[in-house]
Structure 1
Amino acid sequence: MDIPGLPARRAALNLIDAVLRRGETLDQAAGAALSRVRGDADRALTRAIAGEVLRWKADLDELIDSATRQRLPDDAKPRAVLELMLAQVLRLETPPHAVIATGLPLLTGGPRRLAHGVFSTLVKREVSLPDVPTLPDAVLARWGERAGEIAQGLAEPPPLDLALREPDKTQEWAERLGGTTLMPGHLRLPRGAAIETLAGFREGAWWVQDLAASLPARLLGQGEGRRVLDLCAAPGGKTLQLAAAGWDVTALDISKRRLERLKDNLERTQLSAHVVQSDAFKWEPEAPFDAILLDAPCTATGTSRRHPDVLHRIGPRQIAEMTELQSGLLARAAEWLKPGGKLVYAVCSLEAEEGEAQAAQVALTPEPILQDELPAGLSPMPEGWLRTDPAMLAEAGGLDGFFVARWRKS
C-alpha cells in the first residue's frame, strides 16, 4: 500500500545523497530525485526537507550521536534517515507520528528499530537546535573570523527580492504587493509567495533578484544608449537591469538552456538585448564596449542561505578551478573595453580567493565604490570594493554574499 508523503521523503533522501556523495547541486539532482514525486506541494516539501538537513547537518548529527551508544558511521543510512526525520520535527514542525510513518519505511530490519528508538528518545527529551547552524569544519577554516557572524545569516531561507523595471515606481509597487524596500528599484516580500500569481508578473514589471545581486549592475549607472557587455549573462537579471537603465546590451553566455530563460524574461519585461551564445574565450566583439559587467562563474558560496548544499560541496579544488576561470575572463574583459570604459567584476562567493585576491591583480585604474551608491547599512571596503555576506542587513532579512569591484580603463 502506498504511504502518502513517502515518495517526497525518499526523494529528499536521494537529494541529500546526491549532494554529499556525488557533489551535485540540489538543482542538478532535482530532476532525477523528483521524477516520482507528484504535485507541487510535495515537490516543495522535498526541497524543504533536503535544504534543512543540509543547513543544520552538523547540529542534527550531534543530537543523533547523543542518543546512540555506538556512533553511527557518517555514511550509514540510518543516520541519513534520522537527519531527515529530525529536520522535519525541529524545522518544519511536522508532527512526530507523521515523521515516523513516512521515515521508518525508508529502512528495513534492525536499522528501522534503531532509528525508531533514537528518534523517540530525542522527541521525549524535547531536544532543540541552536539559534545558529554549526558550519562544517572546512567552511569554518576557510571563512575564519567571519564564519561565526556569517552563520547567523544562514539560520533561515531568505525572503523574496524583486528588482523593478521602473525604479521610480518603487513605492507604488511596495503598496500594491505589500512589500518593503531597501533602495529604489528593490522590493522585498516574505518567502513562499507564488511568483507567477503576483501582480506585475505577467506584464513584466519586475523580476526575481536578490538585493546583493542587483548592486553590480547599478554601479554602471544610466546607459544613455551606450554599449555594455553583460559577460556570463544568463539567467539574465543583470541584463534586464542594464536594459532598463538605458544601455545597449550585448548578453553573452555559453549555455543555450540558460539563455532561453533570459530570452523569456526579456520578452516578458518588454526589454531588449543582443543575445549571443558563445564561449567567452573564443568570441571576439566587433568593437570595444563603453562598459562591461562580469558576474563571473564562481563557487556560489554566497548563496548558501537558499542553496545550503554549497556548504558541503565546495572545497579547495572547486575554488582553484573557479579562480583560474575568473582570471581568464577578467583578462578578456579588460581587452574589450574602450579607453575610459568601466569594468565591474562580481562573484556571489564568500571566498577571498574569488573576490579580494582577484581584484588585487587587475591592472586597470580603480574606481572606488561610494557609500551613496549602496543601500543604507552597507559600506565599501577601504580599497573601494564591496563585500556583502548573509549576516548583513539581518534586521531587514539579510542578503546574499557578494564581492564587487569597479575599474576604469585609462
Structure 2
Amino acid sequence: MTARGGAVALLDGVLGRERLLSDLTAPGGPLDRLSPSDKARAQRLAAETLRGLERVDRLLQRHMTKYPPLTTRNILRLGTWELCAGGAAHGVVNDCVDLAANVPGSESLKGLVNAVLRKIADNGPAVWETLRVPRLPKWLRDPLSEAWGNAAVTAMEEVHFVAPPLDLTPREPAQAEALARDMGAELLPTGSLRLTGSTQVSALPGFEQGAWWVQDAAAALPAVILGATTGEKVLDLCAAPGGKTMQLAAAGAEVTALDISARRMTRVKENLARTGLTAECVTGDALEHGGGPYDAILLDAPCSATGTIRRHPDLPHAKDGSDFAGLIELQARMIDHALTLLAPGGRLVFCTCSLLPDEGEVQVEAALERHPGLTVDSAARDLPGVEAAWHSTEGGLRIRPDHWAGRGGIDGFYIAVLRR
C-alpha cells in the first residue's frame, strides 16, 4: 500500500462507514502496513481532501454525469484535491489510475479516472479558487446559525477551510518566551506556543526533555482557569490524552487522572513519562468514581466535539447529530456526580469542545437550577489573553474558531468554573 492508497482507505472509512479518522488510524486499522512517514502523509491527504470536499465534488460534477462506486469516487476526490493544491499532474494522475486498476470489480474504471483527472489538471486549479468556502452540513449549520448568526458561522467555516497551525503548551510557563525563540514559534497571549507550516513534532527543541506537549490553545485554558496550586488534590475527569493532567501536575497539584478507555489512558501515562510529571492514573467510569473529596475537579465532558472541526475535518462527515441528546444528558449526570466529589468550598471546571450552547451555556444554567447554592465564578476567567468578547452572560467563556482568525483560529470551547 502507498500513502495515496492509505488515504483512499481512510476516505472509504469516513465517507462509507461513518468512522472517525482517529479510530481508523488506531492500531489494527488500514494504515498498519505503512511506514510512519507514509502513514502521516496518508492522514494529511485524507484530512485535506475532507476539508475541501464540497469544492472537490463540485469540480467533479462538471466532468461526470454518474458517479462510480465509492472507492473509485474517493480516488477521484483525492486526485482532484491534490491537483488543485498544486500536485504534479503526471504523478498524481498516474498513481490514481494505478489505484483504480486495483479496485476489485471496478478495474475497468481506470480509463474514467484517467480522463477525468486530466481534465481537472487542465482547468481545476483555476476553477477551485472561484468556488465558495465549503459549508458545514445542514444538521450542524442550522443550530449554529440559530445560536451565533449566519455571519459568525460563515467566519467559522473560513477558519475550518485552512489547515490549522500547531499549538504547544510549555511545561513551565516561565520558559515560554525562551522556547518560542528556540523553535521560531509565536507566543500567544494566553501562553501557548504556535507554529505554522509543516513540522516534525519529535524534532522540535525540547521534545526529548518533555518541555512541552501538543495542545490547542483553547484546550489549555480550562486548566489555567482552574488555577491549581501546590498540594491541592485535583481530579481530572475524562483525562485522555493528558494535556490538562500534565498542566495540573506541572502546577504542583496531587492529580488523579481518570478515563474510561484503557487504550487512551496508556497514552496519558506515556505523556506523563516523557514530561517527567506524575499523576495517579485510573481507568474507570467517571459516573462510578468514588474518590475524594477533591479541592478541585476538571470535567472535560464527552461532547459533540464540534469545536474541533478545524483540526478534525472528518467529523461533519462521520457524524449526523443523532447523538446530541444522549451526550447532553450524560454531561448533566457527570456534573451532578462531580459535585458530590468536591470538598466544601471546592471548585468544578466544566468544559466541552463544543460550539453548541446546549453543551455549554445551557448546561451550566440548568446545573444552577438543579443545585441551590451553586454559583459561577466569573472572576476566574479574567486571565491574560482572555478577551472580554469571549465572556458569556452566565459567567463562563465561549470561544469560537473565528476568534483569532488572523492568527490561524482556535478550537471552539466552552468553559465555566462552578463553586459550591
Q: TM-score, with normalisation over the residues of structure 1?
A: 0.91
Contact 2:381 2:397 survives alignment (8 Å): no
CA distances 1:14-63 after superposition (whole Å, capped 9, x unpaired): 111111222211121124221233x3332222111111121111111111
Work out whether 1:367 is the aligned partner of 2:362: no
**Which of 380, 385, 389 matches 2:396?**
385
Aligned-partner Cα distance in 1 for 2:169–2:272: 14
| Partner secondary structure for residue 323 of structure 2 | helix
Work out whether 1:127 is the aligned partner of 2:127: yes
CA distances 1:232-271 after superposition (whole Å, capped 9, x unpaired): 1111110111111122211111222222221222222222
Pick closer, same or farther for the CA change 1:135–1:379 going to 2, 3 Å: closer
| Partner secondary structure for residue 353 of structure 1 | helix
Question: Counterpart in 2 of 1:101?
Answer: 94
| Partner secondary structure for residue 110 of structure 2 | helix
Aligned-partner Cα distance in 2 for 1:239–1:370: 19
Contact 2:165 2:408 survives alignment (8 Å): yes
Work out whether 1:283 is the aligned partner of 2:289: yes
Aligned runs of 1:44-63 on 2, under 5 Å? Answer: 44-63=40-59
Instruction: Kindly provide the amino acid, as one letter, of the partner of residue 109 in structure 2.
Output: P
Gapped regions of structure 1 (runs ≥ 5): 1-5
Instruction: Report the CA distance between 1:71 and its aligned residue.
Output: 4.2
| Larger deviation, residues 362-371 vs 93-102 | 362-371
Work out whether 1:111 is the aligned partner of 2:109: yes
| Larger deviation, residues 79-88 vs 376-385 | 376-385
| Partner secondary structure for residue 87 of structure 2 | coil
| Larger deviation, residues 108-117 vs 178-187 | 108-117
| Partner secondary structure for residue 317 of structure 1 | coil
Instruction: Kindly provide the amino acid, as one letter, of the partner of residue 392 in structure 1.
Output: H
| Partner secondary structure for residue 355 of structure 2 | coil
| Partner secondary structure for residue 275 of structure 1 | strand
Instruction: Kindly provide the amino acid, as one letter, of the partner of residue 144 in structure 2.
Output: W
Gapped regions of structure 2 (runs ≥ 5): 101-105, 369-373
Instruction: Report the CA distance between 1:100 and its aligned residue.
Output: 0.8
Aligned-partner Cα distance in 1 for 2:144–2:220: 24
Question: Counterpart in 1 of 2:418?
Answer: 407
Question: Counterpart in 2 of 1:34?
Answer: 31
Instruction: Kindly provide the amino acid, as one letter, of the partner of residue 300 in structure 1.
Output: A
CA distances 1:191-210 after superposition (whole Å, capped 9, x unpaired): 43222222211222111111
Contact 1:161 1:186 survives alignment (8 Å): yes
Aligned-partner Cα distance in 1 for 2:99–2:138: 29
Aligned runs of 1:56-205 on 2, under 5 Å? Answer: 56-68=52-64, 70-72=65-67, 76-91=70-85, 93-107=86-100, 108=106, 110-125=108-123, 126-129=126-129, 130=131, 132-144=133-145, 145=149, 146-183=152-189, 185-205=191-211
Aligned-partner Cα distance in 2 for 1:371–1:403: 12
Work out whether 1:43 is the aligned partner of 2:36: no
Instruction: Kindly provide the amino acid, as one letter, of the partner of residue 141 in structure 1.
Output: D
CA distances 1:172-197 after superposition (whole Å, capped 9, x unpaired): 11112211111364211124322222
Aligned-partner Cα distance in 2 for 1:152–1:393: 12
Identity over aligned pairs, percent: 40
Contact 1:370 1:380 survives alignment (8 Å): no
| Partner secondary structure for residue 286 of structure 2 | coil
Instruction: Kindly provide the amino acid, as one letter, of the partner of residue 349 in structure 1.
Output: S
Aligned-partner Cα distance in 1 for 2:42–2:6: 6
| Partner secondary structure for residue 340 of structure 1 | strand
| Partner secondary structure for residue 344 of structure 1 | strand
**Which of 216, 221, 227 matches 1:215?**
221
The runs of at least 4 consecutive aligned structure 1 residues that moved more than 3 Å come to 75-78, 369-372
Instruction: Report the CA distance between 1:110 and its aligned residue.
Output: 4.7
Structure number with the higher helix fraction is 2
Aligned-partner Cα distance in 2 for 1:292–1:76: 46
Question: Counterpart in 2 of 1:3?
Answer: none
Instruction: Kindly provide the amino acid, as one letter, of the partner of residue 356 in structure 1.
Output: E
| Partner secondary structure for residue 169 of structure 2 | strand
| Larger deviation, residues 257-266 vs 333-342 | 257-266
| Larger deviation, residues 208-217 vs 382-391 | 382-391
| Partner secondary structure for residue 362 of structure 1 | helix
Aligned runs of 1:288-327 on 2, under 5 Å? Answer: 288-327=293-332
| Partner secondary structure for residue 367 of structure 2 | coil
Aligned-partner Cα distance in 1 for 2:19–2:357: 23
Instruction: Report the CA distance between 1:282 and its aligned residue.
Output: 2.0
Aligned-partner Cα distance in 2 for 1:281–1:184: 32
Aligned-partner Cα distance in 2 for 1:336–1:270: 28
Contact 1:292 1:333 survives alignment (8 Å): yes
Aligned-partner Cα distance in 2 for 1:356–1:263: 32
**Which of 222, 225, 234 matches 2:231?**
225
Pick closer, same or farther for the CA change 1:137–1:113 going to 2, 3 Å: farther
CA distances 1:195-231 after superposition (whole Å, capped 9, x unpaired): 2222211222111111000000111114131211111
Aligned residues: 399
Tell me the C-alpha RMSD between the 2 structures. Answer: 2.0
